[in-house]
Amino acid sequence: MCGYSQEGFANEIAIPRAYYGTVERGKQNITLKTLHQIATGLDAAPSQLLHQAESWNESNFPALRRAGRPRK
């Protein structure tokens, strides 16, 4: 991610590392403010991140399958 460690990126965007880690793992929903902070840190528009998220599916998140969540 832009050459940062998870901790470095979280510090750069002023989000606690532990919280950001849960976001990365898909275990935490985020607010629009947090979306904006992440997008700014990635030098992207929030809409770009949302557009990319539309193309994701459960195959991108094997941890969800292991957690026993039903497939869509």
pLDDT at 65: 52
What is d(CA 21, CA 49) in angstroms, rounded to the nearest whole number?
Answer: 17
Q: Identify the CA nearest to 16 among candidates 37, 45, 40.
A: 37
Instruction: Decide if 31 contacts 25 (C-beta within 8 A).
Output: no
pLDDT tens digits for 17-53? 999 999 988 899 899 999 999 999 999 999 998 888 7
pTM greater than 0.75: no
One-letter amino acid at 39 equals: A
Instruction: Decide if 38 contacts 4 (C-beta within 8 A).
Output: no
Instruction: Decide if 61 contacts 55 (C-beta within 8 A).
Output: no
